[in-house]
Each structure stands twice: as structure tokens, then as C-alpha cells.
Amino acid sequence: MNFLDLIWLIPLVPLFGAAVMLFFGRRLSKAAISIICPGAVGVSLLLSIAAVIQLAGLKEKIHQVTLFPWLPLMKVDMAYLLDPLSSVMILVVTGIGFLIHVYSVGYMGHEGGYYRFFGYLNLFVFFMLTLVLANSYPLLFVGWEGVGLCSYLLIGFYFNRKSAGDAGKKAFIVNRIGDAGFILGMFFLYQLTDSLKFTDVNEALRSARFGVEHSFGLLSLTALLLFVGATGKSAQIPLYVWLPDAMEGPTPVSALIHAATMVTAGVYMVARSNALFQLTPETSFIIAGVGAATSIFAASIALVQTDIKKVLAYSTVSQLGYMFVAAGVGAYWVAVFHLFTHAFFKALLFLGAGSVIHAMSGEQDMNLMGGLKNKIPITFRTMFIASLAIAGIPGLAGFFSKDEIIWQTHASPLGSNFFTVVGLITAAMTAFYMWRLMFLTFYGEGRMDEKTRHHLHESPKTMTVPLMVLAAGSVLVGWLGTPKIFGLPEFFRGFEGWLEPVFEPVKALASEGAEQPEHAFEWFMMGVSVVIAIGGIYVAKYMYTKLRRDQRPSGGMLYPVLLNKWYVDEVYDLIFIRGLSLGGGGLFAKFDREVVDGGVNGTAWTTRFVSTVSMWWDTWIVDGLVNLSAFTVRALSFPVRFLQTGLLQSYALAFVIGLLAIFGYYWVR
């Protein structure tokens, strides 16, 4: 059987699951739902594995399946593309997606709206697979918007909590800003290359028509606009603000959407467009800069958070920053490699946190935990492995990918020592905050109240088995990308080789600088990062097991700054929302209530600003005109009895003004 021609089934099976939930979900029993929805993703997983195995057997590792003509104007068909890059992505999405579906069977067992949850989740998997299997930018965008929509629905799943609804709205709206950039970028790309199909665009960009753009020009602008889209979806500065709030959603959602898959869509898109980014060193530098800034900034916030999910959320933002650093310095395969390993250990951490919260009867504050080590041993052991992996302990997945990124910031021609230093500091912070989480949660004395303590229990098998599988992954998958200097057989460096056809250097670059081997220095750097990781863990251990609470260093002035996330939400709030209303008095107070609430972002600000203006326009100009014409009528004729007439006249007056404006235009031109 030729599974390569069946790749369109991979996204379609979960869509079918979602449709069943929509139409029959209400009538189906929980048992049936628990089979249908995880089963649909499981079928996709099997189809994906089969297709990827057959892909590996092809000489030219690319296969496209056209379903039907779609946008004749742009010469784009509804077609799916399987190549090494999308094969990595579908395996992550279906594999981890399947585990998380299984986990959700246990986790969501006691919640209402069971069918609704699984329907959304399956729909999400459909859109995510469409995103990564698309063969063109427009189809990718369909998936891109679709996952955003599902994320919005799932964040707001607990819709009776106002904060959940707000968080969903914030995510949707911040992403719309990014999307505007993406669409514009797409249009520019079409103007430049006359196509939006990945194969055609890349071919055009790799041809002699385009050269490397050393100063900021049209190519760089296009690349930058696409990257703006990526900052929205992948939560980078300045559009990262939605991701921490998105933790309002159920924990499996955080694991699937906000750690392993959707948030990596931006990284995927940049990797997919590598031919463009290779030509634009200026934009690439911006990407690496934004990535580095985001990674250290988010890591610093994670140092002091007390909500277990918030720590992981900021950690995700920080790790995504690493991926963009890698993409920015031109090491695209490393970015995808880190995406791959991160999906395992971060999904595991989130699911583990879910298991902890489950055991703690819903409590998320780490200050009220402690001593859970023996109460929930499987959760503890699996999270222990994941925390070692993310901290970068040799032999585990995170070590290989993170170390490669730090090395590339030094070795790549686009790199800079500045990024290296930032990467190392962030690594130290990562080790510290992750182990702070571990020590606060699992070690020491329990700080929970009696009722919760009495209730502590390990989670059911449906939850712990996925944890164990992911833990195995967190140990093993890194070995697919060991550094060259290890001198291991080809298999252990298979990841880079597998992706090679996708990240072929553009012609203009191919001749430039062959890498100088610096074996000794690479060993040295590796040593430094291992020391840093162990140091971070040790400091956390010392602070959170040896010292009593009042003995711990407070961090002085910095502590409140970090605790309040550098006051970014407040600053956005101040600049974009309050700033305008100062001195406005009652008029603006009314507005604060009326216009969409709580948004702390540019759009909200623009909205408020312009609707303030339009309200001002209404009160002064429109009403003014009414009054003016009423006044005219009053002055010229009988006292006005019918306000209606005044209103109509003012409308008619607007007509005349409009006509005069047109005439005036013809007059002056």
C-alpha cells in the first residue's frame, strides 16, 4: 500500500473525530468518546509513521498530493506536502498529540463538557496537521488561523471563569496583530517570486535572480513581516503576553497547544522559509536578537513565579526564544531539533504538573506543596527526568539540542559571542528555576492543608502511562543529534542528515566560509554548559532544601520586579490604556467600561484611541451639526418642533459637504 498518497488522510481522520463530536457527541457515552477521539489521532499517528518510512525510501525525499484546485488566481492548489521537515512535525503532532489525548481521558474524566473538549482537541489536531503538511503559504495560513481559533476555544474552555474568557480573547487578538504581518509578508512574497507554493518559492529564491541582501531591502522586509507573524504565534517579544495567561485553559491543552505544537508553528514557518531568511542576514540578526532577548527575559520571570503552570509557561517562552536564536544564526536544523526534543520534555513537564494539580485537588501554588515525592512517585520520577533534560544534563534530550544551539551561536558565520553569553546565562537560570520547581513541589515538608493532604493520590494509569512514554522520549530522542566531535556512527547524527535536503544553502551562500574545526573549544564550551547546569541545580537545592524560608536571599530590589513580570502588563496597560484617559474624567471612565475589557495590547489601545476619537466626532461634529442645523432652522423659520427633521437635515448636510469635498478636490488638483 502506498501510504505516501494517503497523507491527506492524516489530518482528515481527526477532523472526522471532531465532526462526530459536534453532531453526536452529546449522545455518546464517555467510554465511546474516549475511544473515538484518541483513536482518531492514533490512526493518524500510524498513517504518519507508515508514510514517513516510505518517504525515507524515496530517492528525492519529497512527495506532494494534490486534492483539488483551490486558488487559481495565485496558482495554488489544495495540496499536501510531505518532506523531511513536515515528517518531523507530523510525528511530533500525532505522537505527542496521541499521548495527550490518552492522558486527557483520565484528566478530564470528572469535568463537564467532555465531548466538547475532545471535539475541540481533535479539531485542533486537524488544523495543526494542515499547517505542517500544507504545500503553500495560503494553506499553511488556514491551519495557522485554525489552530489559533481552537486555542481560543480551549483556553476559554472553563467559560464560567471570566479570567478564562479574557485570556482566550487576549490570545486571539494578540495573534491577529501577528497575522496581519504574516498576510502582508505573504503578499510581498507573491509579488517577489510570483508564487506561494513552497517548492516554487524556494526554487525562485535559490535561483540566480536573488542575491544576499546585505542592507535592509524588500526581501528583508518580507522576511521581517513573516517573522512578525511568528512572534505572535510563538510568543516572542513583544507579542508574548498572551501565552502566560493562556494557562487558564485545562492542563492537557497547555501541554499540547502551548508547549509542544501550536507555539512552535512560528519556528516551523521560519524553518520552512529558510531560503528567504538565508538571503536576509539583517532580518536573521533581528530574529536571533529577539529570540535571545525573549529567552533571558522570560527565564528571569520564571525564577520567582509561584504558580507551577506559570513557571512552565515562561519556561516555554524562553525555550522558544532559544529556537529562534538557532534559526536566526542560520542553524535551522538545530532549531527544529530543539523543537523536537522540547516537545517531549515540556509536554512531560506540563502533564506532570497536571498530575500534581490533580493530586493537590486543583491547587497550583507551589508554596502550598512540598513532600509529594513519595505520595505520587511515578509523577515525581518522570518529572525528575524531564527536569534533568531541560536543565541540560549530558545524555538527556535537552542537553544535545540546547548545547548545539549555544555552540552554533559561536560557530555560525551569523553568530555572535553576545548570543553565546546570553544563551549560557539563560541555561543557568533554566536549571535553577526548574529545580526550584522540583524542590518546592516534591521535597521537604508538605505545606498543604489537612484536607488536601488526606486526598493526595497518584493519578490513574491513563495519565501515568503517557508520562512514562514521554520520559523515555526525553532520555532517548536527543541521541539522534549528537555533536560531530563525539565521533559516533552516522545514525546518532541522523537528524541533521535527514533534514539536509530542506535546508540546502542558497547558491549565493554556498561558497561562503567553510566551518573551521575548533574541537578543543567545542569540548570546552560543552564543559562550561554542563558546569552551569549542575551549578544551577545545586544552587536551587541549597536554597530550597537547606535554607529556611526566611533565610533565603530575597533578591532585594529585583524580586518584586521579577515577580511582577517586569511590569510589562502594567506598562502596556499604562501606555496603551490609561495614558489616554488621564484627565478625561467621566467620559473616559465610561469608555473603560464599554470598550473591550482588559486587553493589554496595541490593538486594544488603537481601538480605544480611535473610538475615543469617533465618540468625540459623534458628540462634537455630528451632534454639533444637528444643533447647527437646528439652530439654522430656528433662526430662519419657526421654532423647531420636530427633532427628527433636524437630524435628517444634518444627514443631508453631510451629503452636501461630501459633494463639495469631491468638487473641492477636482478644483485643487
Footprint of another protein on this chain (CB under 8 A)? 22, 68-74, 138, 141-142, 145-146, 149, 156, 159-160, 165, 169, 172-173, 176-177, 179-180, 183-184, 187, 190-191, 594-596, 603, 606-607, 610-611, 613-615, 622, 644, 648, 650-652, 654-655, 657-659, 661-663, 665-666, 669
Q: Which residue has 529564491 as its cell numbers?
A: 205
Q: Which residue has 507530523 as its cell numbers?
A: 90
DSSP letter string over 357-396?
HHHTTT--BGGG----TTTSHHHHHHHHHHHHHHHT-TTS
- The whole-angstrom separation of Cα 348 and Cα 627 is 66
- CB-nearer residue toward another protein: 99 or 140: 140
Cβ at position 107, least distance to another protein in Å? 22
Cβ at position 205, least distance to another protein in Å? 19
Report in angstroms the alpha-carbon separations of 555 from 303, 551, 552, 560, 570. Answer: 11, 12, 9, 9, 21
Closest CA to 510 of 279, 200, 285, 192: 279
Cβ neighbors of 456 (< 8 A, separation 6 or more) are: 359, 360, 372, 375, 376, 448
The CA-based diameter of the chain, rounded to the nearest angstrom, is 100
Cβ at position 525, least distance to another protein in Å? 44
Cβ at position 155, least distance to another protein in Å? 11
Cell of 628: 447647527
- CB-nearer residue toward another protein: 151 or 387: 151
Cβ at position 607, least distance to another protein in Å? 6
- CB-nearer residue toward another protein: 173 or 286: 173
- CB-nearer residue toward another protein: 84 or 185: 185
β-partners of residue 365 are 307
- CB-nearer residue toward another protein: 131 or 372: 131
- CB-nearer residue toward another protein: 199 or 603: 603
- The whole-angstrom separation of Cα 400 and Cα 620 is 65
Cβ at position 480, least distance to another protein in Å? 34
- CB-nearer residue toward another protein: 10 or 422: 10
Backbone angles phi, psi at 196, to 5 degrees: -125, 5
β-partners of residue 78 are 68
Closest CA to 470 of 390, 400, 383: 383
Cβ neighbors of 124 (< 8 A, separation 6 or more) are: 146, 147, 150, 151, 154, 256, 257, 262
- The answer to whether 233 touches 148, Cβ cutoff 8 Å, is yes
Cβ at position 177, least distance to another protein in Å? 7
Cβ at position 362, least distance to another protein in Å? 21
Cell of 183: 498576510
- The answer to whether 485 touches 404, Cβ cutoff 8 Å, is no
- CB-nearer residue toward another protein: 492 or 609: 609
Cβ at position 397, least distance to another protein in Å? 34
- The whole-angstrom separation of Cα 250 and Cα 109 is 12
- CB-nearer residue toward another protein: 452 or 603: 603
